[in-house]
Amino acid sequence: MDNIQAIRGTKDILPSEVIYWQYLEKTVGEILAKANYQEIRTPIFEQTSLFERGIGEATDVVGKEMYTFTDRGERSITLRPEGTAGVVRSYIQHKLFASGGVERLWYGGAMFRYERPQAGRQRQFHQIGLELLGSKAARADVEVIAVACDILKTLGLKNLSLQLNSVGSKEDRQTYRQALVDYLTPYKDDLDSDSQDRLSRNPLRILDSKDQKTQEIAKNAPNILDYLGDDSRNHFEKVCSLLNDLNISYQLNPRLVRGLDYYTHTAFEIQSSDLGAQATVCGGGRYDGLVSQLGGLETPAIGWAMGIERLILLLEQLQPLKPQNPDIYFVSRGEKAENQALIIAQELRHTGFKVELDLTGSNFAKQFKRGDRSGAKICLVLGDSEVEQKVIQVKDLKTSEQKTVSQKELIKLLSN
C-alpha cells in the first residue's frame, strides 16, 4: 500500500522550521503590541459572497483561485484566500466601531489559493496582517507602513525596497481605467492570454503582468498618478512627506496596483531582492469603501499582510536557528527506577527545568550516548539501587564529573 503524502501545495512545518515561525511570531507580536494593535482571530472559512463582494468577482482570486464548496446546508463556503474581508466582516458584525475612534487589529493564520506551487508560494500559505479602521488621515497610512518597516528591520532583513503608489479614489480609478483600456486595446493581440482576458474585466491588473512582451507594452501606458483628483493628490503628497520625515525611503511605482478591487488611494509593497520572482514580503493599502460595501457604515481603513513563508525563507538565509537543548537528560533502568524517574522529571519541569526523560529502557551505555547527543548540561542517573537508597546520581556532561546526592537535595543542588 502506498504511503499517503501531503497534498500538492501544502507543506509540513517540521520542528527544525517551527523555531523560525515561533521567533517570527514572537517578534511581530511584541512590535504590534507596542503600537497597540489587538489580535483578532476569524474563522478559516466564510460565506463565499463575502469574498465575491469584498475582493471583487473580476479578480483572479475570486475568478480562478478560491477553494469553494457547498456544505451540507447547501451553503456556498470558501476557505479564506486573504484576511482583510473576514476582519471587516467581524468589525461590522460585532460593532467594533461602537466606541468611536480608531480600531487597530492584527491577525495571523492560514490562507488558501489554488495557485501553482513554488518557493515562497503554496496553496495553503500563512499571513500576518494588520488593519487600521476609522481614520482617513495620511498619518494612518504612514503608521502602518512604519510598523511594517519596524518588523522587518527588527527581524534583521536586508535588501528591501518600499514600492509606493496611489490608485486614487473610485472616480479617479474609473477615469484612469478608461484611459488604460484606450491605450491597450490596439495592442490586444500582442498581450499574453491572461492580460487579454483582463482587458475587459480588470485592466489595471495588466500592469502587474509578468509576461515580458506585455511589460514592454505597458511601459508606455498612461501613468495613474496623472489621473488623481485634487483630494487624492493632496493625500498622497502628505503620505510621501511624512515618510520623508521618518526617513523611510521609498520608490514611486505607478504600475503598482495590487490584485484586489477594494484598494483606494495609497497602495504599497515591500520587496526583497533576495527572493527572486516572488519578491513581495509585505503588501497593502487603503480600502476606504470596503466596510460600507460589506454592509457597514462608511469607514476609512488601511492595512497590510506579510507572507510568513517568504519571511521564513529570508530568515533561514540570514541566521541559522536551532531548537533549544534540554537542561537535563534523565536516564533510568529498572521498573522502580523508571517509575520514580517519571515522578522526579515532572517535579523538575514544574520547577522550571527543561527535562528530557529517556523512555527506551535500553542499557545505561546507550542512554548515556543519547544524553551526550541531546546537548543537555546535566545527566541524572537512577537505578533501582538508588531508589532504595533515596539518592540520585548527577553527572556533568561537559566535565564527566559525577556525584551522588539525596533526592530531597536534588532541586536545591540544580538550582545553584
Q: What is the pLDDT of residue 257?
A: 78
Q: What is the pLDDT of residue 45?
A: 97
Average pLDDT in the 87-91 region? 97
Residue 203 half-sphere exposure toward CB, CA atoms < 13 A: 21
Q: Where in the chain is the domain with CATH 3.30.930.10?
A: 15-168+228-318
Among 205, 43, 258, 6, which Cα is nearest to 117's? 6
Options 3.40.47.10, 3.40.50.2300, 3.40.50.150, 3.30.930.10; CATH for 15-168+228-318 is: 3.30.930.10
Q: What is the pLDDT of residue 391?
A: 94
Q: Which amino acid is at 356?
A: E
Q: At what angle do helices 138-154 and 230-245 cross, to 10 degrees?
A: 40
Q: Where in the chain is the domain with CATH 3.40.50.800?
A: 328-415
Q: What is the pLDDT of residue 259?
A: 60
Task: Mention every residue, 6+ apart, whose C-beta is less than 8 A from residue 372.
Answer: 397
pLDDT tens column, 222-231: 889 999 999 9
Q: What is the pLDDT of residue 231?
A: 95
Other beta carbons less than 10 A from residue 114's beta carbon = 15
Q: What is the pLDDT of residue 58?
A: 66
C-alpha gyration radius of the chain: 28
Query: Dihedral angle at the C-alpha atoms of 141, 145, 146, 151, nearest 10 degrees?
Result: 150
Q: Which residue has the higher pLDDT, 144 or 177?
A: 144
Residue 370 half-sphere exposure toward CB, CA atoms < 13 A: 18
Residue 99 pLDDT grade (very low, low, confident, very high; cuts 50, 70, 90)? confident
Q: What is the pLDDT of residue 115?
A: 87
The CA angle 180-177-227, to the nearest 5 degrees, is 90
Question: Rounded to 5 degrees, what are φ and ψ at 398?
Answer: -90, -40
pTM beyond 0.85: yes
Among 378, 388, 384, which Cα is nearest to 410's? 378
For the 328-415 domain, the top CATH level (class) is alpha beta
Q: Kindly report the average pLDDT of the chain as a whole number.
A: 92
| Separation between Cα atoms, residue 254 and residue 176, nearest integer Å | 12
In this predicted structure, the answer to whether residue 153 has a pLDDT above a threshold of 70 is: yes
Q: What is the pLDDT of residue 273?
A: 87
Q: What is the pLDDT of residue 376?
A: 95
Q: What is the pLDDT of residue 212?
A: 87
Other beta carbons less than 10 A from residue 226's beta carbon = 10
pLDDT tens column, 168-208: 998 898 898 899 888 988 888 888 888 888 888 788 888 87
